[in-house]
Amino acid sequence: MSTNSLARTEFIVRTIARTAVEKEQEFCDLDAVVGDGDFGYSLARGFEIVLQDWDSFERTDIGTFLQKVALVISARIGGTSGPIWGTAFLRAAGVAKGRQQLAAADAVGMLRAAIDGIKVRGGAEVGDKTLLDALVPVADALEQAAADGADGAAAVETAAKAARDAAEATSSLAARRGRASYSGDRSIGSPDAGAMAVAIMLEQINAGWPGH
């Protein structure tokens, strides 16, 4: 396997996991505005197990590694977040199955597959005030960066900015999915917790990316 591709994949997953654990209270507070306030707790409990079992995950290829992570997420994250995040990782793993190297186009393909999986599993679309409202702009930004010939560090920085802008823009939306949808128009004025989590995770990935 390409050590570089595996190392980058591991870095991204580990950063996502660590951010979920470290930002547990912040994510709960974001969710409590219009949801039931357990988003951060659910995410942290699942990703704690990912970090705990880190060395045991099979690394035959990148897809296999991501599949093992997906199985832990699906089994250990509670509520609606487990199926959503688990499906996202599982769909990304499917694109990387048997792959030992990943190019920029592969990364975009994995993210698009994750997005499609979330749409099917959660019945959500862009504009419903979910994490999709941050993930889709991230995929678009990465695809454009790749087309422009940007290097990895520049692409990740662009993606992180796109995630933050998109997550903050969810404040103007009314929630149509999940418990937050019970609030109806009262959800307008606060950003979606899932979208903000995506933004914060991307910012942490950007901060630790080689070259920054």
**Predicted pLDDT at 177:** 56
Mean pLDDT of the chain: 91
Say what the pLDDT of residue 190 is: 84
Q: Tell me the pLDDT tens digit for each residue of 46-71.
A: 999 999 999 999 999 999 999 999 99
- Is the pLDDT assigned to residue 172 strictly greater than 50? yes
Q: Three-state secondary structure along the chain?
A: CCHHHHHHHHHHHHHHHHHHHHCHHHHHHHHHCCCCCCHHHHHHHHHHHHHHCHHHCCCCCHHHHHHHHHHHHHHHCCCCHHHHHHHHHHHHHHHHCCCCCCCHHHHHHHHHHHHHHHHHHHCCCCCCCCCHHHHHHHHHHHHHHHHCCCCHHHHHHHHHHHHHHHHHHHHHCCCCCCHHHHHHHHHCCCCCHHHHHHHHHHHHHHHHCCCC
Single out the residue of 160, 119, 120 nearest to residue 138, CA to CA. Answer: 160
Report percent pLDDT > 70 for the chain: 92
Residue 129's pLDDT is 92
Q: Which domain holds residue 175?
A: 3-208
Total domains in the fold of the chain: 1
For 96-146, what is each residue's pLDDT tens digit? 999 989 999 999 999 999 999 999 998 999 999 999 999 999 999 999 999
- The structure's pTM equals 0.92
Output the pLDDT for position 53.
96
The pLDDT score that the predictor gives to residue 1 is: 37
- Position 6 scores a pLDDT of 93
Q: How far apart are CA 101 and CA 85, in angstroms?
A: 24
CATH number at residue 160: 1.25.40.340
